[in-house]
Structure 1
Amino acid sequence: MLDIAAELHRWVAQGRDFAVATVVHVGGSAPRDPGAALAVDSRGEAVGSVSGGCVEAAVYDLCTQALRDGTVRLERFGYSDEDAFAVGLTCGGTIEVLVTPVSAEAPGRAAIAAALSAAAQGAAVALARVVRGPAELLGRPLLVHPDGAYEGGLGGSPELDRAAVNASHALLDAGRTGTVDVSERGAHCAADLTLFVESNVPPPRMIVFGAIDFAAALVRTGSLLGYRVTVCDARPVFATRERFPEADEIVVDWPHRYLERTETDARTVLCVLTHDAKFDVPLLVAALRLPVAFVGAMGSRRTHEDRNRRLREAGVSAAELARLHSPIGLDLGARTPEETAVSIAAEIIAARRGGTGSPLSGSPRPIHHDVDDRRTPPPHRSFAGR
């Protein structure tokens, strides 16, 4: 739901009634991840997508039905279903969809409206909803803020709400969307409820060191992938807004000095394109000791070997050096800045998702997979709220 927060916040402000279908479980190969949403208002206008086109028509009908009768539903679509070809999910996977009416009289509308407002403004927030438990609690929302404050409730005891807040806050801290079991005894105990928690967090950072022509292409590619992109270079004549109009931030400073004072986290990507030892070595010494998602450095094979030698002499350990992606990028035969930017982006995606970089046509591996598969467990079908 939060992935289309801006549009839904506008609908709430206009007083529209709508129903929203959210993917809460993905199994096997499916086009969208948990959190993908499709919403339909009382006039039949639709926004968003749950399947990239596969089951949109069937989910649209579920939303219009939920608007008519005010009932929350949990529905599953999969290739193994008899009507798989009828609804179109022929990719071999399954999705489970929570359909929630958000009308003026719907329980939890205030918490959902507050979550949409916060997410539309780019604030960090988590929205938890019941996907397994007593039928009357299906879809019940709980909004959790980074400071631990919350709005709404699950309809159980205060202890259950506190356990849900703690579990949702942990997912928000990690920037994750997924399911968690909670009970009055806390999270991860014998479950009273299973929650689907959507986390809305600021976009991850990509910091590009070195204001060169390759950097300009990488800035555009990073922005396309949803990163907040910073360009840093110690040379003010090169680090200019005119050369990098699409960067979110341009910093004139020595790279290692800037890295030491700026905020990074486990989703941050660092791309070192300076290939100049006086910049690279102090920068990479600092970068390889940070808990970031990716550290890559541009350069020839000769530059790579010389840089590794200098890093070892500077005290970088073998384990730290093993984190360095150098020369940066996948072997695509890239030559132009734009092609090189694609090869760098491809390696970043592969590192994040556990890809090999091999052609899909020759690989027996599943198309959709992650290094650490944190998707939901097999879907529960014990209730449908009907």
Structure 2
Amino acid sequence: MLNIADTLHRWCREARPFALATVVDVTGSAPLPVGTSVAVDEDGNAVGSISGGCVEGAVYELCRQVLSDQGAPQRAWFGYSDDDAFAVGLTCGGELDVLVQHLAPEAQPPLTAALADIVAGRPAAVAQVVAGPGELIGSTLSVRADGGVTSGGALDGGPTGKLVAEEARALLRAGRTTRVTVGGNGDGCPEPLTVLVHVHASRPRMLIFGAVDFAAALSQAGRFLGYRVTVCDARPVFASTARFPHADEVVVDWPHRYLSQTAVDSRTAVCVLTHDAKFDIPLLRLALDLPVAYVGAMGSRRTHDERLRLLREQGVPKDRLARLRSPIGLDLGARTPEETAVSITAEIIAHANQGTGRPLIRITGPIHR
């Protein structure tokens, strides 16, 4: 539902009832991920997409029906049709499990509270029950960045609500939207529930060290991908906002000192572009010991070999050195700063999603994992 948060927030403020269709499970290759939603209001206005066009008409009609009936939530399954290319289905070969429910904003304080945080840019999570006892289907609970909970209805208090809140808090910290199962194991919730937790987290960070031309192109690519980009260099003549207009911040400091003082997490990408040992070695020694997602360093293979030798002399163990992506980037034949930025960001994406980096035509199996 976060793909249409702005509109849903406006509809909630206007106390406008709507039907919400949400992808709660995906099998095989599908164009959009779990958590993506379509909403339709009582005037027939629609927003969002769950399939890139394949099944939108059928979902729209189902939303209209749910709005008219104002009854229990409904489930719908959409899969590939071999017999009729124009039949309702996913021509990409995947399968979608969709939950459609009627929502009256005045009866959904958790959703209204979370949407207010999200449109204001604050981290928040919405837990939505998508499978379990009938009276709980569609129930929501929201969690704020400070851990506070807004609940209502069937999830208001009690052991079930507490279990759902714990899962939502954990996923908000991780910055990940996913399905989880709670209960059914003697922990106070007798029947298992499947909960889809929609997470709006702060933007992941991309830390670029080295105020060079490659950093200018990489900062633009990183911002395009949704990262909060910082460019850091110890040389004030090079580290200026005028040279890096796409960076969220430009810092003049020694790289290792800045990294030791700034906040990082499991989504942070560290890109070292200085290829100067006096900057690189203390910086990489620290970066490889931090719980970040990616550490890459620019330089030739000769520079890389020398860098490894110096890091070993500094006592960096073998398992830490194995985390270093150097020379940085995928083999795209890149030469210009812009091409190199694509090469680096492609490797970051592949690493984060456990992709191979190989052409899709050369591999088998599903495209979307």
Whether contact under 8 Å (2:78, 2:89) holds in the other structure is no
Whether contact under 8 Å (1:295, 1:323) holds in the other structure is yes
Aligned to 1:86: 87
TM-score, normalization: structure 1?
0.89
What CA distance in whole angstroms lies between the structure 1 residues aligned with 2:183 and 2:19?
28
Q: Which amino acid aligns with 2:17?
A: D
Tell which deviates more after alignment, 198-207 or 121-130.
Answer: 121-130
Please state if 1:144 is matched with 2:143. yes
TM-score, normalization: structure 2?
0.93
Whether contact under 8 Å (2:39, 2:47) holds in the other structure is yes
SS of corresponding position for 2:329: coil
- Structure 1 residues 165-191: Cα deviation after superposition (integer angstroms, max 9, x where no partner): 112222222222222222276779864
Q: Which amino acid aligns with 2:298?
A: M
What CA distance in whole angstroms lies between the structure 1 residues aligned with 2:127 and 2:297?
39
RMSD: 2.1
Change (3 A) 1:189 1:140: closer
Q: Which amino acid aligns with 2:60?
A: Y
**Structure 1 alignment gaps of length 5 or more:** 370-386
Change (3 A) 1:190 1:155: closer
SS of corresponding position for 2:87: helix
What's the CA shift for 1:100? 2.5
Percent of aligned positions with the same letter in both sequences?
Answer: 58
What's the CA shift for 1:84? 7.7
Whether contact under 8 Å (2:184, 2:190) holds in the other structure is no
What's the CA shift for 1:162? 1.3
What's the CA shift for 1:201? 0.7
Aligned to 1:58: 58
Superposition pairs of residues 293-312 of structure 1, within 5 angstroms = 293-312=293-312
Aligned to 1:378: none
What CA distance in whole angstroms lies between the structure 2 residues aligned with 1:188 and 1:95?
32
What CA distance in whole angstroms lies between the structure 2 residues aligned with 1:81 and 1:175?
38
Question: Which structure ranks higher in relative contact order (CA pairs < 8 Å, sequence separation ≥ 6)?
Answer: 1
Whether contact under 8 Å (1:29, 1:366) holds in the other structure is yes
Aligned to 1:165: 165
SS of corresponding position for 2:328: coil
Change (3 A) 1:104 1:299: closer
What's the CA shift for 1:230? 0.8
Aligned to 2:355: 355
Tell which deviates more after alignment, 67-76 or 226-235.
Answer: 67-76
Q: Which amino acid aligns with 1:121?
A: A
- Structure 1 residues 307-343: Cα deviation after superposition (integer angstroms, max 9, x where no partner): 1111111111111000000000000001111111011
Q: Which amino acid aligns with 1:119?
A: I
**Structure 2 alignment gaps of length 5 or more:** none
SS of corresponding position for 2:25: strand
- Structure 1 residues 13-72: Cα deviation after superposition (integer angstroms, max 9, x where no partner): 233332222111111111111111122222333222211222222222222222222232
- The alignment of Structure 1 onto Structure 2 pairs a total of residues equal to 367
Whether contact under 8 Å (1:183, 1:189) holds in the other structure is yes
What's the CA shift for 1:207? 0.7
Please state if 1:112 is matched with 2:111. yes
Q: Which amino acid aligns with 1:358?
A: R
What's the CA shift for 1:104? 4.6
Please state if 1:340 is matched with 2:312. no
Aligned to 2:31: 31
